Structure 1
């Protein structure tokens, strides 16, 4: 659906019956374009060591209260094996942002080992931040085929209100990295935080139009949740209520589904931090990807980008059973054994061949 900026702003602001109508249209679009299946991405947060100092993030380099960890290769491979044996079909390797030669080499080695242990059957998404074009190419050739690099805000001024203004946190480098991913051949995902201090409806509308212009294949976005050990926490008095941020996040998902009907949209865990049924509600209005947490439970408490993160004490088996029940309650079907690649990516790739 073609929507201009003013139409998007109007939809994001909707409440009451108009909002009900928006969510219903989004749900119908999802069913027509990508079907009723929800795809699992087993999430493995393998390290919280980060070189960045983003002003909103609980694992920022400058937060000395965080206990840093690096999961052992064996633990990462065991979590991947669990995903494979339980028919999840895909895993997400996520970490703090590092780009040292040792880190690049380690991720490369993990990719090859995961492909080997799963007989090439597990799909792999990476979420390891900004890297060089060469690194992205190396990881792609070793088995990663999807990459999530959230931009957090596509408005340059707002970007520098939530990041330090220096070379390590360059807006232009972030956008450039998304371009590198696209050139390399990944299914590219990005996303933003919704309900940030200083953020306006205009900013959010521009975010959605940025996704459309970049022609992304998948999106992961959720409500901003404050963390007391971050510089942005001082602006919490500017925030909407958590319920308002939650409702706005669902509106964002709904409008994105109308704007880009055949992409993959994740139901963010942050939604569940506000509403116990948050992820199901996102699935009902337009999301079609969910990420069961397979991170070893010993580390989960130290990977808190925001406060009150759910599922910190559930092991992988419990998390899977819980999500299965939630997805069935939401009236959807789990796409077991399927990579669940973005239909948008498949269509675009086919168009290039044609």
Structure 2
């Protein structure tokens, strides 16, 4: 657990991010104790449903950006989504996450409302609902909260305004202040609020990452999902010279970010990003060892999983839900973690904050 002095925090966090392998391994024993003492030894599953890859945004790093004309677009029906929710419940996952490309049209908003209402009607309080649906009006966010969604993940991508516009077009649809404002709206409404950043993307420095960690602390965030940058060939930030060494560096940096954040904010929820597994087959398990306590097994209908490609080499696109569950159980036993089946696994920090 770190002090509240901002300069001391920044210096210490930077030392964590650039530490050598031997020192980092020593740090892991410290972070394990902090993790167990503050969020326990359970890892909580969130059944991930990728509802649609239609998106109005044109973010320079994302494979489902509007400008990617080679993407095969799809949108699940309400029936498809409810079937996926049924699968998550049958697998005894305590929560689901509904994720999609960003849209604010009334048809999309009403569809999400219908799904939340029906899911709550079927399962009452036996299944938590997290949304990751981009920037929405406060009215829409309030509506979804009133219907029963209680967690929302909106990644800030970077806390550096100038860097944000190197990764996004500078126009009304990609407004840094609006993204921040949406995070504040979520907090005011009463959601458990999550955010996150890209790690190792072009133009980014270690100091930027340190400031991202401090942003989490200053904003008093409840949960974080962050992962390594993996360049997509159909995006402006594609790096055709990207090597396995580049990816390994971003992977290691991502683990250090998780460890640093766990020490900085001991009681928040931290997700083990699926993108880690795209680089290292044991990526999510290593993230759990580094301080993460949330994993999002994919319950999207198999026919659509390959089309939700934010980055290349997305793992688990061919697995059935029961295969994914069994695989993760075995993997997590290797890092001596139990699974909080049937539990929401809410962020302890949220209850401290309110």
Alpha-carbon RMSD across the aligned residues, in angstroms, is 1.3
Among candidates 224, 230, 234, match of residue 235 of structure 2: 230
Among candidates 73, 87, 91, match of residue 92 of structure 2: 87
1:120 Cα deviation from its structure 2 partner = 3.3
Asked if 1:209 is matched to 2:219, the reply is no
User: Equivalent residues in 2 for 1:138-287 (5 A)?
Assistant: 138-234=143-239, 241-287=246-292
Among candidates 98, 102, 123, match of residue 118 of structure 1: 123
Corresponding residue for 2:351? Answer: 346
Distance across 2 between alignment mates of 1:281 and 1:229 = 29
Corresponding residue for 1:78? Answer: 83
1:11 Cα deviation from its structure 2 partner = 1.1
Distance across 2 between alignment mates of 1:343 and 1:143 = 19
How many residue pairs align between the two structures? 349
> TM-score scaled to structure 1, two decimals?
0.96
Greater displacement, 315-324 / 153-162: 315-324
1:16 Cα deviation from its structure 2 partner = 2.5
CA deviation digits over 1:259-303, x for unaligned, max 9?
Answer: 000000000000000110010000111000000000101001110
Corresponding residue for 2:307? Answer: 302
**Runs of at least 4 residues of structure 1 off by over 3 A?**
234-240
2:231 touches 2:239 (CA, 8 Å); kept in 1? no
- In structure 2, runs of 5+ residues without a counterpart are none
1:85 Cα deviation from its structure 2 partner = 2.1
Residue 315 to residue 103, structure 1, CA distance change in 2 (3 Å):
same
1:238 Cα deviation from its structure 2 partner = 10
Distance across 2 between alignment mates of 1:54 and 1:14 = 32
1:17 Cα deviation from its structure 2 partner = 2.1
Asked if 1:44 is matched to 2:29, the reply is no
Asked if 1:28 is matched to 2:33, the reply is yes
Distance across 1 between alignment mates of 2:11 and 2:79 = 51
3-state DSSP of counterpart to 2:249: helix
1:321 Cα deviation from its structure 2 partner = 1.2
1:192 touches 1:221 (CA, 8 Å); kept in 2? yes
3-state DSSP of counterpart to 1:232: coil
1:81 touches 1:118 (CA, 8 Å); kept in 2? no
Residue 6 to residue 239, structure 1, CA distance change in 2 (3 Å):
farther
Distance across 2 between alignment mates of 1:335 and 1:295 = 21
